[in-house]
Amino acid sequence: MGLERRFGAQNYAPLPVVLKRAKGVFAWDVQGRRYFDMLSAYSALNQGHNHPAIIAAARAQMSRLTLTSRAFYNDRLGPFLGRLCALTGQDRALLMNSGAEAVETAIKAMRLWGYRKKGIPENQAEILVCEGNFHGRTTTIVGFSSDPDSYDGFGPATPGFRKIPYGSADALQRAIGPNTCGFLVEPIQGEAGVRIPPEGYLGAARSICAEGNVLFCADEIQTGLGRTGRLFGLDHEGIKPDLLILGKALSGGLYPISALLSRDDVLGLFKPGTHGSTFGGNPLACAIGEAALDVLLKGKLVQKADKLGRIFLEGLGSLKHPAIEGVRGRGLLLAMDFNREARPFCELLLRQGVLAKDTHGKTVRFAPPLIISEAQIKQALGLIARALSRF
């Protein structure tokens, strides 16, 4: 911790624990103490820590070929792209590394479509985003954030974005204009504190976008791949987006892998030289991604998240404390709101052997790996209750 403070940029405020190894739903610190991981690296570890099948796939590929750049074909990219398209019902996929890179790719794709297909005058395209959004940390993305910690000191903001209230279909309808090319939205706002929109909102937004000739772009980096008890967060309302952004659990926590998926008339507009990444689509990433999807689907982790999420939510709801203002969740993405700062509660959880993190001051997220068992959830609830008794 001292070395990080001495040599690192202080852009994080970690809880005071130094983790050394992990397996499944548990992590151990340098003293050998075990903790329930209730953050899952912000949903990157849906398959759990160090899943043996994903590790084996990574090792096998590392002994063959790790990187070619896209200057050449490799034998892993095509099959992985095909599998992603079959899984999502989209025509094409473009692989990047971090989630923020995939969001930037989506922004470029929506603008390009707006100019080439919708006929928006050059440099006039507008993308609608939601208040409370979190889509990454690049200068463009933080420019349309609602969080001063994200954007303060990093201006000027990139033009071409307009914020509207999250969860209001009427606000979306009113905001769409002739130069609107896209609507970028999270099915659940994770970083904002697991904000779940009103029932029917996403379906209405999808219809409004279709009627207004606007691309509906879903950021499923946190909510996708089983986290909410469905394969994708939009599946709760039976919606297929025009553009779909995936990341985090696409690698099972081993490697930065992200993807943008869309129709032919959107992603087909990219030509050689218009977009790229040295590491995007590398064979190691593709091998890891294939294994991560296998674990998710063959292990029925999506169905498990749905069932166990209900049990976890009911258990959190039964806990009593004068500081609790409410609990909510969908699948294994849950939150507990307090009427005071939540960081001290996270420190108490740490002492009880539970890793969780506060967000936006007064909210604590609970998002364990989807491989967690019912018995483990009940054990974790007991530790959470014990921490509450000391809060």
For the 53-298 domain, the top CATH level (class) is alpha beta
For 116, the token pair is 């080439």
- Radius of gyration of the chain, Cα coordinates, nearest whole angstrom: 21
Mapped onto helix, strand or coil, the DSSP state of residue 216 is strand
Identified catalytic residue from 36, 80, 144, 219: 219
Q: Rounded to an integer, what distance in angstroms lies between the CA atom of residue 285 and that of residue 370? A: 21
Please tell me what DSSP assigns to residue 334. E
Q: What are the sequence ranges of the domains in the chain?
A: 2-51+307-389, 53-298
CATH ID of 2-51+307-389, from 2.60.40.3680, 2.70.70.10, 3.90.1150.10, 3.10.20.310: 3.90.1150.10
Residue 163 CB burial class (10 angstroms; 0-12, 13-18, ≥19): middle
Identified catalytic residue from 36, 80, 134, 232: 134
Query: End-to-end alpha-carbon separation of the chain, Å?
Result: 25
Q: What values do phi and psi take at 323, rounded to 5?
A: -85, -15
Q: What is the pTM of this model?
A: 0.98
Q: Rounded to an integer, what distance in angstroms lies between the CA atom of residue 246 and that of residue 228? A: 14
Q: Rounded to an integer, what distance in angstroms lies between the CA atom of residue 388 and that of residue 267? A: 49
Identified catalytic residue from 36, 37, 161, 248: 248
The beta strand positions in the chain, using DSSP E, are 19-23, 26-29, 34-37, 92-96, 126-130, 161-164, 180-185, 215-219, 243-246, 258-262, 324-330, 333-338, 354-355, 357-359, 363-366
The residue type at 358: D
Q: Rounded to an integer, what distance in angstroms lies between the CA atom of residue 267 and that of residue 304? A: 33
Evaluate whether 2-51+307-389 and 53-298 have a shared fold: no
Q: Rounded to an integer, what distance in angstroms lies between the CA atom of residue 215 and that of residue 351? A: 47
134 is catalytic: yes
In terms of residues, how long is the chain?
A: 391
Q: Rounded to an integer, what distance in angstroms lies between the CA atom of residue 308 and that of residue 230? A: 12
Instruction: Note down pLDDT in tens along the chain; length 391 residues.
Output: 999 999 999 999 999 999 999 999 999 999 999 999 999 999 999 999 999 999 999 999 999 999 999 999 999 999 999 999 999 999 999 999 999 999 999 999 999 999 999 999 999 999 999 999 999 999 999 999 999 999 999 999 999 999 999 999 999 999 999 999 999 999 999 999 999 999 999 999 999 999 999 999 999 999 999 999 999 999 999 999 999 999 999 999 999 999 999 999 999 999 999 999 999 999 999 999 999 999 999 999 999 999 999 999 999 999 999 999 999 999 999 999 999 999 999 999 999 999 999 998 999 999 999 999 999 999 999 999 999 999 9
Reference 369, options 259, 225, 219, 194; nearest CA is 225
